[in-house]
Amino acid sequence: MTAVLIVDDEKHTREGLQQALQEHYDVTVAASAEHINQRLRTGEGSSKWYTQYVIKSLIHEQCSYHTNKVKSIGDKHAVYERFKDFLKVFFIVNLTAHLVHLFFAHGDPSESWPYELSVFFNILLPASYAALEGVTHFSEWTVLKKFSDAARHSLTEAEDMLPDHMEKQGYEECHKRQAKALHKVSIVMLTDNKNWNSLLESKNDYHLFV
């Protein structure tokens, strides 16, 4: 018989649904999620199911975290690199125009507006390029994106390690596979901390842990 779990803090709602469904389903009612979680933790023969639920929830939360991190990074690094390339080309063109203007100018070239404009850009463009270089260097978007992709792949592998068709497997076998999966998830989370510590403590000596 199919099992149905009803969780509602309204007693009349719980009992009404139970009466309506109990003829065709194995109905269990609870006043709160915490109450049913406690029953799952302490119920005889139910620990493997609760363990499976907790590990899967942890994996999905971690996958969601790394997916959102990748989305937030997007193509920022590529956009900044293209903008830096544009600044380099613009600087070379402006410098060339400045030198040509000096070569063909009659009288004092510093009194003309093209001269003042080219000098302005000769100062602005290198400063802008240096600022963008600093942003891309300290943000480490490419490294963080690479690690999050690797972490998601490892978390998917951890989920695949969890037992299937648990009703056909004993508790010991289920717990053994669940322990291996949880160990792999722990490694991914600890590695995430190591990467962040390496970035914060020593920028020049940073090496990605995958």
Is position 198 within any domain?
Answer: no
- Per-residue pLDDT, averaged over 59-79, amounts to 86
* Reported confidence tier of residue 80, pLDDT bands at 50, 70, 90: confident
Is position 35 within any domain?
Answer: yes
Is position 194 within any domain?
Answer: no
- Number of alpha helices (DSSP H) and beta strands (DSSP E) in the chain: 7, 2
Neighbouring C-alpha atoms within 13 Å toward the C-beta of 96: 6
Which residue range(s) make up the domain with 1? Answer: 1-42
How many domains is the chain partitioned into structurally? 2
- Per-residue pLDDT of 163-193, as tens digits, reads 888 777 787 888 888 888 988 888 888 877 7
- Per-residue pLDDT of 12-31, as tens digits, reads 888 888 888 888 887 878 77
Q: What pLDDT, on a 0 to 100 scale, did the predictor assign at position 112?
A: 79
Percent of the chain with pLDDT over 90: 12
Is position 141 within any domain?
Answer: no
* Residues whose CB falls within 8 Å of the CB of residue 109, separated by 6 or more in sequence, listed in order: 101, 102, 115
- Per-residue pLDDT of 118-129, as tens digits, reads 889 989 999 998
Residue appearing with tokens 């139970």? 18
**Do the strands 3-7 and 26-30 form a parallel or antiparallel pair, or are they unpaired?**
parallel
Is position 12 within any domain?
Answer: yes
In whole angstroms, give the CA distance from residue 12 to residue 24.
20
Is position 164 within any domain?
Answer: no
Is position 34 within any domain?
Answer: yes
Q: Which of 96, 115, 130 is the last residue of a domain?
A: 130
Is position 176 within any domain?
Answer: no
In whole angstroms, give the CA distance from residue 54 to residue 165.
17
In whole angstroms, give the CA distance from residue 200 to residue 204.
10
pLDDT at residue 76 greater than cutoff 70: yes
Which long-range CB contacts under 8 A does 46-51 form with residues at least 24 apart? 47/171, 47/175, 48/166, 48/171, 48/174, 48/175, 48/178, 49/166, 51/174, 51/175, 51/178
